[in-house]
Amino acid sequence: MKAVSMFSPKTIDGITYFEPEDKMTYDEALEWAKTRGLRLLTRGEWCDLFDYKKEFRKSCQNVHYWTASVAFSDSPFSQESAWVFSSYNGSIHVIHRHGLSAVRAILAEPEGHRGY
């Protein structure tokens, strides 16, 4: 994995997050977060925060952010895909896991927690 610089933590609307300067593949993003005791936001968390937290929405760059959610399907494409959140318009869609997208991570939850 390439070395990736990290911004200092930012707290907006009561949520502390970390956002590296560089875009990453999905697997790099997961590893980056995990080694720092962080996790990616789920699809549901992205949508809720974007819809209901004005300052959080304003803090987003106009990019695609990886979510913690992989795509599930029998198709070969889906098995190599993950969901991204588009801060352009608040939508979510699937892209190939080897593409580059932005990363925003939060502190990891205790074991047993299930995001949506």
pLDDT tens for residues 49-92?
A: 888 888 888 888 889 999 998 877 666 555 688 999 998 888 88
Q: Is the pTM of this model over 0.75?
A: yes
**CATH architecture type of domain 16-107:** Roll (3.10)
The terminus-to-terminus CA distance of the chain in angstroms comes to 28
pLDDT at 111: 53
- Does the pLDDT of residue 30 top 50, yes or no? yes
Ranges of each domain in the chain: 16-107
Q: How many whole angstroms separate alpha carbon 89 and alpha carbon 2? A: 30
| Separation in Å, CA 1 to CA 32, 35, 88 | 9, 12, 28
Q: Which pLDDT value is given to residue 116?
A: 42
For 80, which DSSP code? T
